Amino acid sequence: MLKNFLKQSKKADILYLDSPNNPTGFQFTKTELQTLVKSFDGLVIIDEAYGEFADYSLSSFAKTQSNLIVVRTLSKSFGMAGIRLGYFVANKKFTDAFLNVLQYPYPLSTLTIESGILALENVGLMENAVKIIKSERQRIIETLKNLILLMYLIPRLILYYLMPIVLTNVYFLLLQNKEFQLEN
Ligand SMILES: Cc1ncc(COP(=O)(O)O)c(C=O)c1O
């Protein structure tokens, strides 16, 4: 799959990838993503909007990899979409370029900045919420798996087990009825 992905993106200058993906939840493994960043010639932007719900992040890899930018947001795990605050992690080359093009004096509202600081000072609240969401996600996955198994098994049980019993009983009852009795 990774090979295919790289083949398809050969002519591109920028590769933008959700990790995990919205809405499928699909995520390449960490090693696969690292290989992808290393083998792609252009810029790789990894969108980790749902990164806190995943098992790994690529943000520390961005420090050493000059073609990687990891973008994150406070919209999902912090549940603070309304403040419109996000950030990116990248090599100094990108952070310097970004600081040069920022529109001062007010690139972010004071309310956004203060809300962001408050959220980060209470990061434990977010971590607890993420823990609960992850365990609920697992519970839903298990429940759905069992339901799917039941949906697979029940028609087969009816067809191969219950139907023969019912039919045999109906046949037996019919045979008891004189009109249906066999004669020599
Ligand atoms: C993968 C992904 N990236 C980014 C965003 C946008 O996040 P923000 O609220 O920070 O604009 C979304 C929102 O749904 C998303 O699903």
Residues recorded for the chain: 184
Task: Phi first, then psi: give them for residue 92, nearest 5 degrees.
Answer: -55, -30
Residue 47 falls inside a structural domain: yes
Q: Which domain CATH number covers 79?
A: 3.40.640.10
Distance 78 CA to ligand 1 centre (A): 13
Q: Which residues form the domain of 48?
A: 2-121
pLDDT band with cut points at 50, 70 and 90 for residue 183: low
pLDDT band with cut points at 50, 70 and 90 for residue 157: confident
Q: Which atom of ligand 1 is nearest the CA belonging to 75?
A: 9
Residue 183 falls inside a structural domain: no
Q: How far apart are alpha carbons 162 and 175 in whole angstroms?
A: 20
Q: Which atom of ligand 1 is nearest the CA belonging to 85?
A: 10
- Percent of the chain scored above 90 by pLDDT? 62
Residues 45 and 17: beta-carbon distance below 8 Å? yes
pLDDT band with cut points at 50, 70 and 90 for residue 158: confident
pLDDT of 179 reads 64
* Any ligand 1 atom below 6 A from CB of 47: yes
> Cα angle at 100 between 99 and 105, to 5 degrees?
75
Residue 171 falls inside a structural domain: no
Pocket test residue of 27, 52, 76, 80 for ligand 1, highest count of atoms within 8 A of CB: 76
Please report how the helices 110-121 and 123-157 are oriented relative to each other, as an axis angle in degrees rounded to 10: 70
Cis peptide before 107 (omega within 30 of 0): no
Residue 113 falls inside a structural domain: yes
The pTM score is 0.80
Residue 180 falls inside a structural domain: no
pLDDT band with cut points at 50, 70 and 90 for residue 8: confident
DSSP lists the bridge partners of residue 89 as 70
Residue 43 falls inside a structural domain: yes
Residue 181 falls inside a structural domain: no
Q: Which atom of ligand 1 is nearest the CA belonging to 73?
A: 10
Residue 165 falls inside a structural domain: no
Distance 49 CA to ligand 1 centre (A): 6
Tally of structural domains, the chain: 1
